Amino acid sequence: MQIYLNGKLVPQEEARVSVFDHGFLYGDGVFEGIRVYDGNLFRMKEHIDRLYESAKSIALKIPLTPDEMTRATLATVAANAKRDAYIRLVVSRGPGDLGIDPAKCARPTVVIIVTSIVLYPAELYEKGIALATTSVRRIPMQCLDPRIKSLNYLNNVLAIIDAKKAGAIEGVMLNVQGRVAECTADNIFIVKNGWLKTPPELEGALGGITRAAVLDIARKTDISCSETRMGLHDLYNADECFLTGTGAEVMPVTAVDGRQIGEGKPGKTTQRLLAALRELRVKDGLRVDYDAPVQLPRIA
């Protein structure tokens, strides 16, 4: 596997970063997870935009322009000759000293990994999954804006540990007000009386690229949708519920905290949206030219 590291493609074994990197020491950095579907980088522009917005929020200057980052990503996918893959873009604050002050970090570390995706088993899309509400609340935006996709995932890590203890494979995270924010690594939707609803980002949700794609599909079809605050009561009494994420795509949810959702099987709207997303994923994005000579933009 060839890894992009600070302007060069290097074999996996040689892709090493410093123990003084503030990404390692403090989780100081940002990242993206992107899917490649049959040579198409799904919604690449949206992922790049989110990466640069996250970086701007944490005052991290990425040493590549968005266009250069896009070209570096395309080159790394082509160099690994993968038509279906999961890409991880990481930009950390870079090596500094043991203090937290990022002013000591002269050069951010830029990493692009193109690997195979670990998919949820296909049968889960037919059966749906059960969720458990975690006792770990989403960090409030007064402390850390949940729209920043940062390397600091301890809040979510603690939440997934808690959800798994309860026997679930994903957990619902509430905000400190007790309203539904999102899941530990996915956004959440419900359908009630034919209306599609998802919590607004400011409730404590990442602005998911898949979430936005699903809302776009709904707006372009006859599915009414809105970003609406909701409590667990709304979740428990929903006709349908599903998760969205780069890895999960559209994952049906058939139980929450031991309450059956709707008829206890994937709902019609959920299935329609999953099918529409699967159609979109090879069309909406950026195509990789696997025959183009590998040209990596120089890092300033």
Q: Which residues are catalytic?
A: 149
Residue 119 DSSP code:
P
Smallest separation (angstroms) from ligand PMP to the CB of 261: 19
CB atoms within 10 A of CB 33: 18
Cα dihedral across residues 145, 148, 151, 156: positive or negative: positive
Smallest separation (angstroms) from ligand PMP to the CB of 28: 17
Query: Given the complex with ligand PMP, which of 63 and 281 has the nearer CB atom?
Result: 281
Q: What are phi and psi of 93, to 5 degrees?
A: -65, -25
- Start-end of H helices in 195-237: 209-220, 232-236
Q: Which residue ranges make up the site for ligand PMP (CB under 6 A)? A: 33, 156, 182, 185-187, 206, 208-211, 244-246
Query: Given the complex with ligand PMP, which of 95 and 171 has the nearer CB atom?
Result: 171
Query: Given the complex with ligand PMP, which of 47 and 82 has the nearer CB atom?
Result: 47
| Alpha carbons 73 and 47: distance in angstroms, whole number | 12
SS3 of residue 168 by DSSP? coil
Query: Given the complex with ligand PMP, which of 162 and 186 has the nearer CB atom?
Result: 186
Question: For the residues of 264-298, what is the DSSP string, one character each?
Answer: SS--HHHHHHHHHHHHHTTTSEEE--TTS---PPP
Query: Given the complex with ligand PMP, which of 88 and 127 has the nearer CB atom?
Result: 88
Smallest separation (angstroms) from ligand PMP to the CB of 101: 27
| Alpha carbons 107 and 121: distance in angstroms, whole number | 40
Smallest separation (angstroms) from ligand PMP to the CB of 269: 18
Smallest separation (angstroms) from ligand PMP to the CB of 206: 4
Q: Residue 116: which residues within 8 A CB-CB, separation 6 or more? A: 82, 84, 85, 86
